[in-house]
Structure 1
Amino acid sequence: MATTRIHGVAESCSFPHNIYVYPMKPLNHDDSKRLFMKRTFSHEDDCPLELKEISDDILRKCDGLPLAIVNIASLLATKRPSKEEWEVVHKSIGSTLEQDHEFGVVKNILFLSYYDLPYYLKVCLLDLSIFPEDYQIDRLRLIRRWMAEGLIIEQQGRSMEDTGESYISELINKNMIQPVGIDYSGRPRACRVHDIMLDLIVSLSTKENFATVLGSQKLTLAHKIRRLSIHGNCEERKLWQGIDGLRHTRSFSVFGDAKKIPSLSNFQVLRVLDLENFTNLVDGDIGDIGYLIHLRYISFSNISKIPRQIGKLQHLQTLDLRWTTVRELPGTVVQLRLLVRLFLPYGVELPHGIDSMVSLQELSRFCVARNSPEVLLQLGNLSKLKVLGVDWESNGDFNDEASSKKYFVSSLRKLGERNLQSLYISACVPCSLDFLADSWLPPPLHLQKFSSIGDRRTCLSRLPKWIPSLSELTCLQIVVEQLSLEDMEALKSLPTLLYLNYTKECSLETLTISSGGFQRLEEFDFGAFSGGPGPIFEAGAMPRIEKLHFPFTVHDMTYAYVSGCDFGINHLSSLKGLWIIIDCFSARIWEVEAAEAAIRKSAALLPNHPIPKIYRMGERAMVKEDDD
């Protein structure tokens, strides 16, 4: 048996039988406590009552990390078993890397891991020092920041985004950061840094003058501030007066309720301006944005207006306005010819000439109703556009809905013939998307993700004819009124489909998934607005499915079905996660319990032994035994 912190080494050791790689997980609370108490007192029963609460506080800091638990427990074993002594240790955990040699073992091992990293990963890891403790860092946000600062090394034949993704994977595999929320593609939605690891990173970052973090405490500012991050409330107005070091700053970030930030005109070489989490940001704070001619990345919150000077930022690559209340962009925004990503809040009106932004690859929350026919047609001229997110509303905002549909579909046809890979359509009010069902021809053959989500009455009456022809489709989220057997057979034949989220308006008939299809599907999320008996999986169906979500109504099932049927879950040998919602309306308690027992029994027999997460809905509407 070989043990390693590096996932790639583990795979090499077990090649070609990668199923024998066992990823270690953090200890749960009970196991953490047993390890901690054994190291400190030899037995949990020997722990004084007054130390039990502080013990739990310290364990929360360790976050299930055996190395941290063992070393902190060893330190406490040398202290007097008093609450005062332990409180001192608990409070000093965040600063011991600079002060307390008794944490030498933890420090040395973590240092060893850090110095073993290649240079490009070291600088990316140090960049995480700007984020607050326990902060969940969005994966794509992090990669875009790294790209803007030039921390990602360009590799021939590979996009910068893909290289950034590999950096994230390497740091996770080396246990330097922790993934949060794995999606169907195996990528984390976000990541976080363990508290003890963050202390190390901040210590190294400060020592090397990589980044400067300002909190409520006083801090001596470096002569040259390369990266500045403000946490919490810095309300001293004189703090920024006479600071010469800001002219060397490459990134500026704010987290929390800072009362005062320096004038943007002080930042002469700034590349990253990340004010997404600055809760007190106002329009006046960004009045000098035109001076920041080196900016590559901007993320704002709260503001309601973008200055016309935005057009001067000729190197800007990312403009993220999702957390603002902006409703109109100035005409100068079309001068941003190097802009790659534009993220908008709801209901933004774009200026005429958006097709001048020739580098644009991603546009989110494009509101069809708020934009003119000219802009709708210019959308189709964005030849590099890969990702398009659309807000579709039919609540009276359209001046001419029929014309808007015509121009929008015309642009979709052009985009589909070029580089469009992802299309997301959302709506908050009832509307029909049937205008897309037959009109998108020729089909977008390079489309990899299609999502139409929103209100339960925001749906298609049937499956669009062009979807079965999408040979590169990996993700499909769709709401339809009815799905025929022919439609299901067509979906089964999609060769690259990994994730299917399918919801239908009415589900009175059983959905049967037969063998011979969905050969690569890994996650299936089935929904029905009007209830129903749930799906049935025949032998050989979905051979690679790992995650399954579905609802069912107990009252729609016969006695034999309730007591003996497990929906064919026993046929899903690759299943690792199972989430089920039981609609208890008009059902008896024994029916609900029998259905739950059948599901758990079947899941327990599977190779991965998934533990079903079963949720009851409408328990108050169940039939009581005395009502029979």
Structure 2
Amino acid sequence: MSGAEEARRQLDKAKMDLIRLISSNKDDDLRVIALWRANGDLGETSVIKKAYEDLKTHKKFECFAWIKLVRPVNPTEYLRSILRQFYANSLQGTTMEAQDLRWMEMTKENDLVGEFRRFVSTKSYLIVLKDIHTIEEWDCVKVFFLNYKKGSRIIVSTEQVEVASLCVRQQTAAADHKQLHMDQALYAFYDKVFHKIAYLNDEYPELVEQANLILKKCDGLPLAIVTIGGFLANQPKTALEWMKLNDHISAELEMNPELERIAAVLNKSYDGLPYHLKSCMLYFSIFPQDDKVSRRRLVRRWIAEGYSRELRGKSAEEIAESYFMELISRSMILPSQESIHSRRGIDSCQVHDLIREIGISKSAEDNLVFTLEDGCGLNNRGTIRHLAISSSWKGDQCDFKSIVDMSCIRSLTVFGKWRPFFMSEKMRLLRVLDLEGTSGLVDHHLTGIGKLLHLRYLSLRGCDDIYHLPDSLGNLRQLQTLDVTYTSIIELPRTIIKLSKLEHIRAGGIGSNDGGTHETYADTLCTLALSSMAFCVGCCAPQVLKEVMDMDGDPNRRDVCTACCCNKLPSAATRQSPNGVEVPRGTRRLKALDTMGVVNVSGSRGKAVLNDLKSLTRLRKLRVTGINKKNSQDLCSALSNLSCLESLLVRSEGNPGLSGCLDALPSPPKKLQSLKLYGNLVKLPEWIAALWNLMKMELRSSRILEVDAAMQVLGNLPNLAILRLLRHSFASEELRFSLNRDAAFPSLAVLELSLLDKLESVELQGGAAPKIELLQFRGWRYKANTVLFAGLPSLLSLKQVLLKGRYEDGFVDDLRARLAGNPNRPVLKLN
């Protein structure tokens, strides 16, 4: 092959790579693709031009514009240039185009901005911005591009790697076209380090692990890839040297002149944040590297810290949620999970490793966040606002007390094992106590919690050896969030009704934390106590249980008595549901409550609690369990009063379950967006047909008999986007989503079918569910000749099929073959 032919082949390959990059994951969000080149490389320009013309010819977008910036940048002329091309490409030279062009020549910038945004609000577009030299030029033009969720793309071409790094965002894509390869995160790094494309597995196998860690920290940031690669080119090619860089990247960014460009670019990203977002951003320094942080956890902690307050009719939570999404849009944090269980889509996030290092550095400058971890020094720390205790820290009480000023600590977050001395009497200004997932925490460790009078956020989530909250909880008059989900607490103290500022009670738990069973020390105790009368609970239990369970904590006799006599034995005797907590009478006083559940109303106080619910008119999220014929009328009466309710879970155990319990609700909450019904229903309540705002529906153990009638009701809901039909929800061999009409399930995007034992056929055709993107199925007994899903090729929005359970190979092969007939080429994933 001649040199010219090889060059053309490389050019064509690079063009197709770029087209795939532009077209891949063509979701609803606007994406920026930054491409950088060295020394005016013309090959890169040819690749972009060829890809642009190909996409234009095949009409992959509704509007196209190729813009080369003229200096000095004139925003008005810049917008006119884009609109001229948009009109020419979309209206194809009609008389309207001429009229609009004459209008544009006479229009001022503000009117042009409005026209541009009006025009692109309903269309997808591809814009190429050529030869941007500085980040100021990018800042000047980027403000016009709003995300109208039409799958649009902007390609920024520049010779400056710093500009590419600031234009591109982590949730978008970056590429170095210097060598016309799309996988430049690997190629550019190896080229800089070894001055050639090296294959580490063959030549430097000992460097593979460290190289992957370095590339992970760079996370597609072109400047970081090239600069760190250039630095390592002059260092010994040993795993030890590369490990040192990985372990001390923060110090290297600050002290090493060769890496200072990266720090300068990342600092600019941080410095460009408004003041309120800087505080939120630095807060991430509390959490361990690579930790997935729950959106809910962050938002409520921010509120407790005072970062967000009610303003101009917007609640503090709404404002904090907007901060979270703004940090994502600025790519300071990365959405790490898009859960099918969440109406909001993004339910957790992570921080780019290098940005996290910058945050740690800036936090340390002001003694804002201090992480107590293995090998750290404690002396001369000054005033500390936020203390995080790592799971790696092995110090003792003397070490802990050597921290200079505990009196100013505003938040304490513990990861790993709990030590009783972590909670100090000096922490009188503490606002946040976050012990989520902490091991070794038992009841008596909380006896002093009532002294933390400024506490606003308390989380014991996942601390399953906690059985009882002290009555002194009632002293925490500033408390806003109480999260005891996945603990062993079955009853909240009477004093909780004093907490007039309480907004969120999260307790109980539907299912278990890990989907399995976890034997706590009280389970072991009860087994021993019930099987042997010779066992002395008061005297022997603490020591025996420490030895048997290898416990990290130090349960005393009172802990054991509480766990056994006040929790496990009464629950066993009354067959009380382990998935909820009892609340005291008088909760009607908690007027600020926004979230409440899971509340068990099966006991003697159940009716009184349901009557109290009527007064909680600000309640948006409610979860109740223990519903039966005796209290169902009171539940329906309470629900009729809750006009702000957006999310509702109702659960009942055994037979008759929920059958007939929900029929007495004449007017359901009109704002309801999420509804979960667990228990024997037999048929859907009629009022579900009126839930026009419902976005998520989940059924479990409902045993619906009139299947087609139920599917007709659900298929008519205009905004239903997530439908989860779980174990025993339908007693039928066939589920039909089409129901002989095209308009069924018009907004359905996610469908989950799990362990429906009798199911033999799922019909998804005839134009039903036109927007479905994810189909998740769990089963166990499907053989090679089973054609389970009918209509897969007609689901033109389908992106992914997730298959869980065990199946014969032939069943999977057949499913994969039928998916291949779908023009959208959905991905089949097996779990």
TM-score, length of structure 2 as denominator length? 0.65
Q: What CA deviation, in whole Å up to 9, does each residue of 1:332-379 have, x standing for no partner?
A: 111111111111134433222222222112112111224513233323
Distance 1:21 1:499 in 2: 28
Q: What CA deviation, in whole Å up to 9, does each residue of 1:370-426 have, x standing for no partner?
A: 451323332333222221112338xxxxxxx542344444433433xx322211134
Residue among 602, 609, 615 paired with 1:375: 609
Distance 2:430 2:146 in 1: 47
What is the deviation of 1:191?
0.8
2:690 is aligned with what amino acid?
Answer: S
What is the deviation of 1:41?
1.8
What is the deviation of 1:176?
1.1
Map of 1:548 onto structure 2: 775
Q: Are the structure 2 counterparts of residues 433 and 259 from structure 1 closer, same or farther at C-alpha, using a change threshold of 3 Å?
A: same
Residue among 578, 581, 584 paired with 1:351: 584
Map of 1:489 onto structure 2: 712
Q: What CA deviation, in whole Å up to 9, does each residue of 1:533-556 have, x standing for no partner?
A: 432233432232222234689979
Q: Are the structure 2 counterparts of residues 8 and 449 from structure 1 closer, same or farther at C-alpha, using a change threshold of 3 Å?
A: farther
Do residues 261 (structure 1) and 440 (structure 2) align? no
Map of 2:14 onto structure 1: none
Once the two structures are superposed, the pairs formed by residues 337-348 of structure 1 within 5 Å of their partners are 337-345=500-508, 346-348=579-581
Residue among 569, 574, 586 paired with 2:792: 569
Distance 2:199 2:735 in 1: 58
Distance 1:245 1:344 in 2: 34
2:150 is aligned with what amino acid?
Answer: N
Q: What CA deviation, in whole Å up to 9, does each residue of 1:497-556 have, x standing for no partner?
A: 221223443332351424113222222223461243432233432232222234689979
1:385 is aligned with what amino acid?
Answer: L
Residue among 365, 372, 384 paired with 1:214: 372
Do residues 150 (structure 1) and 375 (structure 2) align? no
Map of 2:660 onto structure 1: 435
CA contact (8 A) 1:452 1:478 kept: yes
Q: What CA deviation, in whole Å up to 9, does each residue of 1:169-197 have, x standing for no partner?
A: 11112221111211454531211112222
Do residues 24 (structure 1) and 176 (structure 2) align? no
Map of 2:29 onto structure 1: none
CA contact (8 A) 1:531 1:553 kept: no
**Rg larger for:** 2
Do residues 612 (structure 1) and 771 (structure 2) align? no
Residue among 19, 38, 57 paired with 2:210: 57
Residue among 176, 181, 184 paired with 2:332: 176
CA contact (8 A) 1:264 1:289 kept: no
CA contact (8 A) 2:646 2:674 kept: yes
**3-state DSSP of counterpart to 1:424:** strand
Q: What CA deviation, in whole Å up to 9, does each residue of 1:17-64 have, x standing for no partner?
A: 83223752589x986444432332244446585732333333134326
Map of 1:515 onto structure 2: 742
Q: What CA deviation, in whole Å up to 9, does each residue of 1:84-104 have, x standing for no partner?
A: 433333333354234433321
Distance 1:430 1:231 in 2: 47
Distance 1:571 1:212 in 2: 55
Q: Are the structure 2 counterparts of residues 75 and 167 from structure 1 closer, same or farther at C-alpha, using a change threshold of 3 Å?
A: same
Distance 2:800 2:410 in 1: 43
CA contact (8 A) 1:350 1:371 kept: no
CA contact (8 A) 1:478 1:501 kept: yes
Do residues 251 (structure 1) and 404 (structure 2) align? no
Unaligned runs of 5+ in 1: 394-400, 616-628
Map of 1:396 onto structure 2: none
Residue among 316, 325, 336 paired with 2:479: 316
Q: Are the structure 2 counterparts of residues 516 and 348 from structure 1 closer, same or farther at C-alpha, using a change threshold of 3 Å?
A: closer
CA contact (8 A) 1:533 1:552 kept: no
Q: What CA deviation, in whole Å up to 9, does each residue of 1:240-272 have, x standing for no partner?
A: 447662222221211112535344421222211
Distance 1:527 1:7 in 2: 48
Note the aligned Cα RMSD (angstroms). Answer: 3.4
**3-state DSSP of counterpart to 2:602:** coil
What is the deviation of 1:77?
0.9
Deviates more, 1:169-178 or 1:109-118: 169-178
Q: What CA deviation, in whole Å up to 9, does each residue of 1:197-233 have, x standing for no partner?
A: 2211111101122222211222334332222211123
Once the two structures are superposed, the pairs formed by residues 223-372 of structure 1 within 5 Å of their partners are 223-232=382-391, 233-241=393-401, 245-300=405-460, 301=463, 302-345=465-508, 346-370=579-603, 372=605
Map of 1:596 onto structure 2: 816
CA contact (8 A) 2:378 2:399 kept: no
Distance 1:35 1:14 in 2: 32
TM-score, length of structure 1 as denominator length? 0.84
CA contact (8 A) 2:386 2:409 kept: yes
Unaligned runs of 5+ in 2: 1-127, 155-170, 176-181, 509-578
Once the two structures are superposed, the pairs formed by residues 40-51 of structure 1 within 5 Å of their partners are 40-45=193-198, 47=200, 51=204
Distance 2:239 2:373 in 1: 28
What is the deviation of 1:8?
14
Deviates more, 1:311-320 or 1:33-42: 33-42
CA contact (8 A) 2:711 2:736 kept: no
Count, aligned residues: 591
What is the deviation of 1:313?
1.5
Q: Are the structure 2 counterparts of residues 264 and 379 from structure 1 closer, same or farther at C-alpha, using a change threshold of 3 Å?
A: farther
What is the deviation of 1:485?
2.9
Distance 2:674 2:199 in 1: 57
What is the deviation of 1:144?
0.2
Once the two structures are superposed, the pairs formed by residues 371-520 of structure 1 within 5 Å of their partners are 372=605, 373-392=607-626, 402-415=629-642, 418-426=643-651, 432-453=657-678, 458-479=679-700, 480=702, 481-503=704-726, 504-513=729-738, 514-520=741-747
Q: Are the structure 2 counterparts of residues 17 and 175 from structure 1 closer, same or farther at C-alpha, using a change threshold of 3 Å?
A: closer
2:696 is aligned with what amino acid?
Answer: C
CA contact (8 A) 2:632 2:662 kept: no
Distance 1:9 1:40 in 2: 35
2:272 is aligned with what amino acid?
Answer: D
Distance 1:145 1:9 in 2: 35
Do residues 114 (structure 1) and 267 (structure 2) align? no
How much identity, in percent, do the aligned residues show?
29
Distance 2:146 2:615 in 1: 50
Residue among 192, 200, 205 paired with 2:363: 205
Do residues 140 (structure 1) and 296 (structure 2) align? yes
1:524 is aligned with what amino acid?
Answer: L
Distance 2:616 2:146 in 1: 47
2:711 is aligned with what amino acid?
Answer: M
**3-state DSSP of counterpart to 1:486:** helix
**3-state DSSP of counterpart to 2:639:** helix
Distance 2:688 2:624 in 1: 18
What is the deviation of 1:234?
4.8
**3-state DSSP of counterpart to 1:19:** coil
2:192 is aligned with what amino acid?
Answer: R
Map of 2:237 onto structure 1: 81
